[in-house]
Amino acid sequence: MKTRKFHPFFIFLPIVFFLTGCEGFLGGNDPADKCASNRKVVYQSGELLVEGSSMWLMNIANLNGAIPNADKDCHAQLTLEFWFKDKVRAKTTEKPPLSIVFTGGDGFFDPASVSTYVTQRMTDSTYYWTAFCDQAAKNASGNPTNFGISVTWDYNQLLSLEDVVLSGIIDYKIYKEP
């Protein structure tokens, strides 16, 4: 009868799985755990019009009675969906000419490094775009803080402006005094 040797990998792997599974029992202190509870989601929609508003602003303080109540140390997910109001233009793959800035605390997040634009087809064959930012405002001067989305026209494309529909969502952790 042949005997087989177990490779050290097959002995080491179950031990790793056991220890990582017991992290909660051993007092694992994951900072993401404290940010997962007591969250709030706010919504706002509107339009950026050629013959009307030239700026659209959404922030949690304005939606919360002028009170910033976000925890600066926890990531907020800021999402902006936008599309052309004109149904014919909305059925093209052309992206509306917008300048989007995601804000947090006393500053802003670099749109080039934290935003992703994705084209998706809606049920009525129109296209919309999504800009997304998932950041914390750890460098903000104090807690609680504010998160927001600011939208204006892209000044490099002022000759091709069309009315644009906007829909924003901010998912953030509410700050609680320690």
Flag whether 144 is in a domain: yes
pLDDT in tens, the chain (178 residues): 555 554 444 444 444 444 444 444 444 455 557 899 999 999 999 998 887 788 999 999 999 888 999 999 999 999 999 999 999 999 988 888 888 999 999 899 987 766 778 777 778 888 899 999 999 999 888 899 999 999 998 877 766 678 999 999 999 999 998 8
- The pLDDT value recorded for residue 167 is 96
Flag whether 33 is in a domain: no
Consecutive H or E run containing 74? none
Flag whether 23 is in a domain: no
Flag whether 12 is in a domain: no
Flag whether 113 is in a domain: yes
Flag whether 62 is in a domain: yes
Domain count, the chain: 1
- The pLDDT value recorded for residue 126 is 87
Distance (Å, rounded) from C-alpha 170 to C-alpha 60?
8
Flag whether 28 is in a domain: no
**Residue 163 near residue 54, CB atoms below 8 Å:** no
Query: Tell me, what CATH number does 63's domain have?
Result: 2.60.120
**Domain residue limits at 52:** 39-173
Distance (Å, rounded) from C-alpha 51 to C-alpha 161?
10
**Positions of E strands within 106-178:** 107-109, 118-121, 127-135, 147-153, 164-173
**Residue 56 near residue 46, CB atoms below 8 Å:** yes
Q: Which residue has the tokens 């405002």?
A: 137
